Structure 1
Amino acid sequence: MGCLKLRQFSATIIPCISRRYFCKNVTNGTMKYLNVAEKNDAAKNIAQILSRGNSTRREGLSQYNKIYEFNTQVFGENAVMMMTSVSGHLLNYQFAPSFKNWHSCSPVALFDAPVLKTCQPDYENIKKTLEREIRTCQGLIIWTDCDREGENIGFEIIKVCTDVKPNLRIYRAKFSEITGASIFRALNTLGQPNKNVSDAVDVRMELDLRTGAAFTRLQTLRLQKVFPQKLADKLISYGSCQFPTLGFVVERYKAIEEFIPEDFWKIKMNHTVKEVTTDFNWKRERLFDKNTCQAILDICKENPQATVENVESREKSKWRPTPLDTVEMEKIVSRKLKINAKETMKIAEKLYMQGYISYPRTETNIFPKELNLVNLVEQQRQDHRWGSFASRIMEEGGPTPRQGRKSDQAHPPIHPTKYANNLAGNDQRLYEYIVRHFLACLHKDAKGFETTVNVDIAGEKFQAKGLVILEKNYLDVYVYDKWNAKEIWSYRTGDTFMPTVLEMVGGSTSPPKLLTEADLIALMEKHGIGTDATHAEHIDKIKSREYVGLHENIYFVPGNLGMGLVEGYNNIGLEVSLAKPVLRAEFENDLKLICDGLKSPETVRTEQIAKYRAVFETVMEKIRCLDESLGHRLDDRPQDVPQDRPTSGGGANNFRSVLKCPKCGSDMFVRERQNGGGKYIGCANFPNCKNAIWFTSNVESIEVMDGHCPDCGPNTKKLKMKFRQNPFPGEPNPNVLCIAGCEENVLEALDISRNSVTSRQNGTVASNNATTHNATTNDSVNPSSPSANNWNFPSNPHSTTTSSRNTGQTNDWSGGSTTNRPSLGSVPMNSNTAVGTGNEDIVCSCNKTAILLTVRKDGPNKGRQFYKCGDGACNFFLWAPDPDASTSESARTSFGNAQQNVRCTCGQPACLRTVNKEGPNKGRQFYCCPKPMGEGCKFFKWADEDDPGFGGGNDGDGGGGGGGGGGFRTANTSNWHGKAATSSKKKNDNRSAPYNASAKPRAKRKCGICGEEGHIRTKCPNNN
């Protein structure tokens, strides 16, 4: 329910929307609009603003997403508005059901497996609310957040609504804060959704799903076996942002772990005058040779008088901060307020929904000119903590922001949108920080006066700096910054003095510090890992997976599992390690190009999947490096587990759709049976749909070709099939075939149920090329049980094949599409006598005479005879005709003469073969062209069908000029029930029903007009 395939969504729905639905003008008359926000709080506040407090609320189908109704003006005309919301993404990507089970395929197959964008069960009521409400509306306005994710959520809403009502007028409201001015401005400047931005999110979501699932399954399934004592119940997840983030932590820890301290020495000198001590720094800083440093000190002590060479004084400024963006907020709040990034973003989102701050996910640090900063400052004058500073800004010339250099062209910097005095806890602390930062960047830099003194002692240079703070300015409100004054003695050029302290001191180099969250966010931003909106999520993920921990609740330390994983991937020798940021950074850059319209989503998707697949296959080949690294860190000996092969589960071509499932319409793909037991074609909608096409072990390999079948249409691909024993003598092996039903003898040869490849609706069988043939059912035949289609897929393939023969399947096909391929179960007869006489030689699939055996086991078939291969080299099997059954002499004579006289359309004597597979036609003989496939014609004729040239068959319904034939032979009689056929080139429109052992003799056919026997309605004298 609610499924949307990626390709359909991108290629079909959106172009249609962009051409037809995105409108700029509305017609006269009262319009009714459905407005949809991203969260319920946003919907509530937007409705409150647009209705000026006069909206009415009612319940939606989801208890968390209300509906608000009000009237307002849109495009200058009165309009009825209904405002509701979703709860984030309405649709999410997932693999087709048959790939969800971790053991259903090799992990490498997930790079090519079909993915669906579906509505999760928890969101079905939200979806139903949209579907219900949109029916009475003429327009749809999207009010989701104006970032990448919000744009994609908007297109999900559009998809759901246009599925119900395709002729909607669709608009996009763009805003950065939930304030009256911003919301009314958005309503008055409605635009169109940005498909490029939405496409970038779709590509990102799909790649994250494929790479995450493939590596997670590989790591988890293998490492649980390799380290059963330590990791047996552990989920070892992978993410293309997670691992580079983990890599930063491991890299810093290893730098500390591998650090070797070095001793150094330096000369310390200071001068104290009237209790003012001035510390001078040695220009050489430090030396790593003690003797050299001691020698220099000895020279200085021989002539210790210091001479002031010059004194420089200049104004010094400490710059105020630039307007606040998301990354800066996360870093400062983490350092100064000790609130982690995830909690920070959660609180910021809450403050935004309440209308206290602007949109908190922004890369912009430049205030737009149209933003009214004066009003925003005025709102803060009432606060007793920073109100006086806000007044100073207004009294000293108004706001003068220090602008940054970044803009995402979507949102302004984070700033307060209204005054709040009712907050508490971390909500209040974060709001206070945002206000103080906002006011600080609007005031003046701090002013000071710096003095630099340079002195000389015996040729060695020393320097001292002093600072006097003249104006604190922004520092009066921005308590998160410090600028300390440093007092030094007042020196003049040419002064001399004797140092108070002149000595050598030693020390040693220290390792770098462990990373804090702020450090980690800075590294992620620098290397392009994630976005401002996702940094916190990735950091939280590596903590929750226990890949890293926190030391003193501040510093990140990798765990043994995290260390082992990163070291293992580094040791594999990949050109670009998964623990390095290069791959993900390239991908993030490609996503920006999609947003800017400079690169197509399909190109990025294809390129990135190919990159990660190549890395994955290398990892699979060298997976033991990962085992060894983890064994070292876990202090556990790896178990000897067989190494997986990259090709397990099939190559990329096998995850192209072969054909559409006739049962549910989903794609069908080539799959591997469990335990390498062969191949089959399964429905992507398994287990919801259990349709499958099973192949015997004779099929060695299957490759899905690029070309489609011209008879079956573009949705049906041809297969290149290689057989262990070629079922098509005289034809190449491997062979290019279509198994969708256009070549009946291919189905016979490969033992494929027509019911598995063609749809059956209202008593008809429809092929993939939309050609439909009528099926006439024999009323005297009891239909098989409806439960026959409830197959136990995929654990019992044989029950699938068998039951599909008894589900009302007919043998309808287009005569023009039938080829001369010999059947796998076709049995050449070395005699021209009739079937059932016992005088013919039965030949198996090896072209050797079959042996006749008798069933000895107790059961319904005890005493029954059958043929099988004498050497046991093939799977040939055929029940022998019952000796008690007899065929009328006239039928035998006619049948024998027919074989001698039947010729194909090439003019050659037709080849007589026998159907061997289980089903309604088992044991039945047919004629086909004797030439190899591709050289002969497509002649086909059942042997029991009467030809105008030699009379009607026994118990035939009608004469030689009748319509299509194709009766069946029962298991215990050689009587044939069917109709005569004129030619194989005519459509066999009236095939008999499937064989049923309990069938009664068929009643004579009556005219459909007058009800009399002996003629049909087309020849009825009453037919006008």
Structure 2
Amino acid sequence: MRYIITEKHNTAKRISEILSGGKAKQKRIKGANLFYINEDLAVIGLSGHIIGVDFPPQYSRWEEVDAASLVNAEIVTTPLNDKIISLLKEIAPEADEVTIATDFDREGELIGLEALKIIKEQNESVRVNRARYSAITKQEIEKAFSNLVELDYNLAHSAETRQIIDLVWGASLTRFISLVSRSLGSNFLSAGRVQSPTLALLVDREREIESFVPTPYWEIHAKFDGFEAKHAKNRFLEHDEVEKCLKKLEGAKEGRVTDIKKKKKVDRPPIPFNTTEFLRAASSIGFSAANAMRIAETLYVNGFISYPRTDNTVYPESIDLRGIVALFKKGVFKEEAKKLLAKNELKPSRGKKETTDHPPIYPVSYVAKSDLKEDEWKIYELVVRRFFATLAEPAQWLTMGVKIDIKDEPFKVNGAIIEEYGWRAFYPYLKIEERILPQLSVGDLLNLIEIAVLEKETKPPSRYGQGRLIKKMEELGLGTKSTRHETISKLYSRAYIVGNPMKPTRKAYGVIDALEKYASMITDPEMTRMLEEAMDRIADGNVSEEEIIGESRKILNQIFEDLKSNEEAIATTIKEGMRADMVVGECPDCGKELIIRRSRRGSRFVGCSGYPDCTYSLPLPKTGKIIVTGEVCKEHGNMSKLRIINKGKRPWDLGCPLCNFMAWQDSKKKENDETNHDEGGN
């Protein structure tokens, strides 16, 4: 009997349908599903990792075990899905051959190896091979199963190494900062070798914003019929210079065109989507990184797009680009497809990253808009249009730089007109900003309508949006294409950041301030990048798993020496940050701080820090993590808005607690009035 092992139930179902021509039969064994293609071949869908790594049970009690002892603790494997493990043990004795067909990346290779180990415990002689594919389509799957290869054990071991290193770093550091700050239970704090440097990026950027001192400057603009020019100096940093210039321009009625430079500008198509570029583009149209990736994986499993976890930005020659475009000769993209198919040659754009594991993300089949959910369609359309744009011609612009003299003071204006839309006709997500000027010639005298002075000031650096942060993480070697969006989601769930662009909370300040001051290696991207490169060496077969885990533990032991010697200072810094996050605003009765408090019975409320002298309070929801966003209520300017995070649900913006309470009082009053009216009527 031959068994095919896939990563997920839906993937098993799709592959079995393809290989059986839609005739596969589902059977349930040991509470898990198999899809029988025939009596000698079946497909099993796992549920991601079925085996995990953990510490032995004696390390589970946080307050009874020193966090530093986790660094060198034994690592044990634990079952994560008993039903599927039981199924694998059940079918193992009769298995002659096993084909691993999990996703082809590090995690997929390890997931396949986990299943294989369980089978081999019961049947050591089973034959093993590997099917690699980048899309779940009939052509791709049939090709993969006709060209089976060997399982890449080194790739699987590199994933296992990351699993163990992330467990040890995350568990030991998380436990340490949670214990010293007394943040236990559902309010525990977290840290990790990728999470902490990423959070440090956000906190450091926020510090730059807060410490930024704006510099005033002035611009002098000249308004003519149909356009406006700016003084060639651009910015005047001294107001005296502005006054001198204005005095010189006094009484001016016209300007003379002294120079015109026209240029053709080639606007090249965007590069193919790898994971980072895809998440950046999805972020620009309103998707969080985690949501965009979740939807992309659904589209991939259903055979609509290629594998969404890839570093590649160069289409391999094996992809039939014209054949893929031809899929869209019907439906909403038919006009764009016809334009591309009319070209003699489809020459795609190329990025700098070229890998051999998976191609860039591209559509692999046509699906009607009515067959997808709204969000799924938006992501699918984004992938289709990006693919089309990479095959289209460059856009062509005509630019014009004009110099104008007003009483010997130089002014300038730039115009830009798009002459050929090229790829931009296929990809409408980037705004086209034309600056149209009237017909001008050197020597023309222009009627001056007004000289205007604009007072401005320099702006602080902007906060990171999710797309830009993922790009920055990639540049610094923080995480992988498969994990960066998960790291960002974790920062939100831990209440370290709010909003998008992302703003760190005061709790995040406290944690990063403490780590940067007393154990800076934790927040240094270089340390994380070094370990990522080490795991690459494992994948290449150049170093052993044990050696890199040993190096990682050595680094972490050094870090814990610093943490232990500064435990009291770290605790103080984190607690100060956490307390600042509990301040909601100013008490309207006495002017003292309003803070989030908990009653003896465990209920939460906003209460005055002046209690018992002041008893002002506002109710709060019974469940969910409360985050003070820092956004101030327009009506009650001394009150911050709140957000509630419940696990597994969308964040709830409670808003101003006072506005919320007043609205509740109004609704109750209305209910009582209606009840009294009804009773009076009866």
Q: Give the TM-score band, short-chain normalised.
A: 0.7 to 0.9
Task: Name which of structure 1's ranges 592-601 and 405-414 shifts more when overlaid on structure 2.
Answer: 592-601
Residue 125 of structure 2 is aligned to residue 167 of structure 1: yes
Identify the match of residue 190 of structure 2 among 206, 213, 237. 237
Identify the match of residue 99 of structure 2 among 137, 141, 145. 141
Q: What CA RMSD, in Å, does the superposition of the two structures yield over aligned residues?
A: 2.2
Matched ranges for 1:847-862 at <5 A: none
Matched ranges for 1:472-621 at <5 A: 472-497=421-446, 499-550=448-499, 554-572=500-518, 574=519, 576-621=520-565
AA of the residue aligned to 1:414: I
Residue 203 of structure 2 is aligned to residue 203 of structure 1: no
Where structure 1 has 5 or more consecutive residues not aligned to the other structure, the ranges are: 1-31, 72-79, 638-1024
* Equivalent position of 2:598 in the other structure: none
In the TM superposition, what is the alpha-carbon distance from 1:408 to its structure 2 partner? Answer: 2.9
In the TM superposition, what is the alpha-carbon distance from 1:303 to its structure 2 partner? Answer: 7.9
Identify the match of residue 119 of structure 1 among 73, 79, 84. 79
Identify the match of residue 325 of structure 2 among 377, 382, 396. 377
Question: Take 2:252 and 2:415, find their aligned partners in 1: how far apart are those partners?
Answer: 26
Identify the match of residue 420 of structure 1 among 367, 384, 398. 367
Deviation track 1:544-602 (CA, whole Å, cap 9, x = no partner) reads 1111122xxx3322222112111122222x4x442342221222222222222333333
* Equivalent position of 2:203 in the other structure: 250
In the TM superposition, what is the alpha-carbon distance from 1:112 to its structure 2 partner? Answer: 0.6
Cα pair distance change 1:268/1:43, threshold 3 Å: same
* Equivalent position of 1:350 in the other structure: 298
Secondary structure of the structure 2 residue equivalent to 1:382: coil
In the TM superposition, what is the alpha-carbon distance from 1:380 to its structure 2 partner? Answer: 1.0
* Equivalent position of 2:282 in the other structure: 333
In the TM superposition, what is the alpha-carbon distance from 1:113 to its structure 2 partner? Answer: 0.7
Question: Take 1:431 and 1:613, find their aligned partners in 2: how far apart are those partners?
Answer: 47
Question: Take 1:139 and 1:146, find their aligned partners in 2: how far apart are those partners?
Answer: 19
Secondary structure of the structure 2 residue equivalent to 1:507: strand
Identify the match of residue 35 of structure 2 among 29, 54, 67. 67
In the TM superposition, what is the alpha-carbon distance from 1:537 to its structure 2 partner? Answer: 0.8
Percent of pairs with identical residues: 27
Secondary structure of the structure 2 residue equivalent to 1:261: coil
Question: Take 1:504 and 1:82, find their aligned partners in 2: how far apart are those partners?
Answer: 77
AA of the residue aligned to 1:51: S
Assess if the C-alpha contact under 8 Å between 2:16 and 2:35 holds in 1: no
Cα pair distance change 1:364/1:636, threshold 3 Å: closer
Instruction: Give the TM-score, by structure 1 length.
Output: 0.54
Cα pair distance change 1:124/1:466, threshold 3 Å: same
Secondary structure of the structure 1 residue equivalent to 2:541: coil
Secondary structure of the structure 2 residue equivalent to 1:360: coil
In the TM superposition, what is the alpha-carbon distance from 1:57 to its structure 2 partner? Answer: 2.1
Question: Take 2:13 and 2:389, find their aligned partners in 1: how far apart are those partners?
Answer: 32
In the TM superposition, what is the alpha-carbon distance from 1:300 to its structure 2 partner? Answer: 4.9
Matched ranges for 1:699-848 at <5 A: none
In the TM superposition, what is the alpha-carbon distance from 1:220 to its structure 2 partner? Answer: 1.5
In the TM superposition, what is the alpha-carbon distance from 1:45 to its structure 2 partner? Answer: 1.1
Instruction: Give the TM-score, by structure 2 length.
Output: 0.81
Deviation track 1:676-697 (CA, whole Å, cap 9, x = no partner) reads xxxxxxxxxxxxxxxxxxxxxx
Residue 36 of structure 2 is aligned to residue 50 of structure 1: no
Assess if the C-alpha contact under 8 Å between 2:34 and 2:42 holds in 1: no
Aligned positions, number: 579
* Equivalent position of 1:992 in the other structure: none
Deviation track 1:437-485 (CA, whole Å, cap 9, x = no partner) reads 1122212222221111133456654321112222223222312122122
AA of the residue aligned to 2:198: T
In the TM superposition, what is the alpha-carbon distance from 1:93 to its structure 2 partner? Answer: 0.7
Question: Take 2:241 and 2:165, find their aligned partners in 1: how far apart are those partners?
Answer: 59
Question: Take 1:418 and 1:636, find their aligned partners in 2: how far apart are those partners?
Answer: 52
In the TM superposition, what is the alpha-carbon distance from 1:366 to its structure 2 partner? Answer: 1.0
Residue 33 of structure 2 is aligned to residue 87 of structure 1: no
In the TM superposition, what is the alpha-carbon distance from 1:137 to its structure 2 partner? Answer: 1.9
Secondary structure of the structure 1 residue equivalent to 2:41: strand
Cα pair distance change 1:568/1:498, threshold 3 Å: same
Deviation track 1:85-120 (CA, whole Å, cap 9, x = no partner) reads 211112111112222232443111111110012323
Assess if the C-alpha contact under 8 Å between 2:214 and 2:460 holds in 1: yes
Matched ranges for 1:606-1005 at <5 A: 606-635=550-579
Cα pair distance change 1:327/1:62, threshold 3 Å: farther
Assess if the C-alpha contact under 8 Å between 1:560 and 1:633 holds in 2: yes
Deviation track 1:841-873 (CA, whole Å, cap 9, x = no partner) reads xxxxxxxxxxxxxxxxxxxxxxxxxxxxxxxxx
Question: Take 1:374 and 1:635, find their aligned partners in 2: how far apart are those partners?
Answer: 60
Matched ranges for 1:228-307 at <5 A: 234-272=187-225, 276-277=226-227, 279-301=228-250, 306-307=255-256
Assess if the C-alpha contact under 8 Å between 1:57 and 1:69 holds in 2: no
In the TM superposition, what is the alpha-carbon distance from 1:252 to its structure 2 partner? Answer: 2.1
AA of the residue aligned to 1:449: L
Residue 328 of structure 2 is aligned to residue 360 of structure 1: no
Question: Take 1:463 and 1:528, find their aligned partners in 2: how far apart are those partners?
Answer: 43
In the TM superposition, what is the alpha-carbon distance from 1:148 to its structure 2 partner? Answer: 0.9
* Equivalent position of 1:192 in the other structure: 150
Question: Take 2:478 and 2:119, find their aligned partners in 1: how far apart are those partners?
Answer: 35
Question: Take 2:373 and 2:427, find their aligned partners in 1: how far apart are those partners?
Answer: 20
Where structure 2 has 5 or more consecutive residues not aligned to the other structure, the ranges are: 582-682
Question: Take 1:403 and 1:331, find their aligned partners in 2: how far apart are those partners?
Answer: 18
Assess if the C-alpha contact under 8 Å between 2:50 and 2:85 holds in 1: yes
Assess if the C-alpha contact under 8 Å between 2:300 and 2:306 holds in 1: yes
Question: Take 1:379 and 1:604, find their aligned partners in 2: how far apart are those partners?
Answer: 47
Structure with more helix by fraction? 2
Deviation track 1:593-634 (CA, whole Å, cap 9, x = no partner) reads 222233333332222221122112201211233223234334
AA of the residue aligned to 1:97: P
* Equivalent position of 2:602 in the other structure: none
Cα pair distance change 1:590/1:306, threshold 3 Å: farther
Assess if the C-alpha contact under 8 Å between 1:527 and 1:581 holds in 2: yes
AA of the residue aligned to 1:492: S
Assess if the C-alpha contact under 8 Å between 1:140 and 1:170 holds in 2: yes
Deviation track 1:714-749 (CA, whole Å, cap 9, x = no partner) reads xxxxxxxxxxxxxxxxxxxxxxxxxxxxxxxxxxxx
Cα pair distance change 1:282/1:606, threshold 3 Å: farther
Question: Take 1:155 and 1:283, find their aligned partners in 2: how far apart are those partners?
Answer: 66
Deviation track 1:355-393 (CA, whole Å, cap 9, x = no partner) reads 11111111111111111112211111111x321111111
Question: Take 1:283 and 1:198, find their aligned partners in 2: how far apart are those partners?
Answer: 60
Deviation track 1:778-821 (CA, whole Å, cap 9, x = no partner) reads xxxxxxxxxxxxxxxxxxxxxxxxxxxxxxxxxxxxxxxxxxxx
* Equivalent position of 1:401 in the other structure: 348
* Equivalent position of 2:68 in the other structure: 108
Secondary structure of the structure 1 residue equivalent to 2:396: strand
* Equivalent position of 1:449 in the other structure: 398
* Equivalent position of 1:316 in the other structure: 265
Task: Name which of structure 1's ranges 49-58 and 123-132 shifts more when overlaid on structure 2.
Answer: 49-58
